[in-house]
Amino acid sequence: MKLICYYSYTGNTRALAYKIKEKYGYDICEIKPATPYSDDYDKVVNDAQEEVNMNYQPEIQDLGVNIYDYDTIILMTPVWWYTVASPVNTFLHKYDLKGKTIIPVATNGGWLGHTFEDIERISGANVKEVLSLKYNQDVLTEEDKFNDFLERIDD
């Protein structure tokens, strides 16, 4: 069984997560920080840089699902300073994902950095079918790439 787990600050990653859910009907859960981030985007960008530099793992809310019931997790994250967003970092450290397959999807406005390598290193899971998508002012700029990805993940 497949589960979509996502974190989204601006809503871009959430929108893609729900497109996958619409197409395949997979279960879905949101990774939410226990204390929400500020609505001030520039403040969050600055705070995110500090969090990444400190390998910060903010407390996250209960997922509402048992991830151990799933063999494959489609893990969706925005890229924060060349890696996963801090709430996703917490998720990767909190749950034992060894033996699972992770299909990572990263949304970014610039450079992917070492996001996928970090997911594999931290989780110890089998990482496959990676997808990096660029956004430009809240518009997906690589829709064909996303649609091709959708065709590959349902095996």
For range 92-112, the mean pLDDT: 93
For range 45-51, the mean pLDDT: 93
Q: Which stretches does DSSP call E strand in the chain?
A: 2-6, 27-30, 72-80, 83-84, 101-108, 126-127, 131-136, 139-140
Question: What is the pTM (predicted TM-score) of this model?
Answer: 0.92
Sketch the domain layout of the chain as residue ranges: 2-153
User: How confident is the model at residue 155, as a pLDDT?
Assistant: 66
User: How confident is the model at residue 138, as a pLDDT?
Assistant: 59
The CATH class of 2-153 is alpha beta
Evaluate the CA torsion angle 154, 144, 125, 88 in order and state its sign: negative
Residue 111 has pLDDT above 90, yes or no: no
Question: How far apart (Å, rounded) are the C-alpha atoms in residues 96 and 8?
Answer: 22
Residue 65 has pLDDT above 60, yes or no: yes
User: How confident is the model at residue 141, as a pLDDT?
Assistant: 62
- Selection from 155, 89, 98, 85 nearest residue 127 by Cα: 98
